[in-house]
Homo-oligomer: A and B are copies of this chain.
């Protein structure tokens, strides 16, 4: 059940992997090239992402095609939501402040 979504997203390499996968399915080889890490290291990151439910795998002959499954990110989004409201309030306040400056 989406163990460690934050941990999974905490690593920059893994975020980069997801960004690469946003363009569509990619083989591990492609991802290795895109990451600059070794193949084993890349595979391990993919494992973490899979465990977190953030990616899906599909076998294609000896290749494995990964695709992003963003569902679990909703958890992060949900946590973030109340704060989004907070920082929007502050931006609004800033906007009003600037408007007031202009008017004065």
| Chain B hits for A79, CB < 8 A | 15
Per assembly, the copies of the chain total 2
Q: Does A82 contact B (CB under 8 A)?
A: yes
The one of B7, B18, B87 that contacts A70, using a Cβ cutoff of 8 Å:
B87
Q: Are B83 and A80 in contact (CB under 8 A)?
A: no
Q: A7-B10, A10-B10, A80-B76 are in contact. Are A22 and B70 (CB under 8 A)?
A: no
Query: Complex: how many Å from CA A17 to CA B18?
Result: 28
Q: Are B77 and A80 in contact (CB under 8 A)?
A: yes
| Chain B hits for A73, CB < 8 A | 80, 83-84, 87
Q: Does A40 contact B (CB under 8 A)?
A: no
| Chain B hits for A83, CB < 8 A | 18, 22, 68, 70, 73
A-B contact list, 7 entries, CB within 8 Å: A6-B12, A15-B79, A70-B84, A73-B87, A77-B80, A77-B84, A80-B80
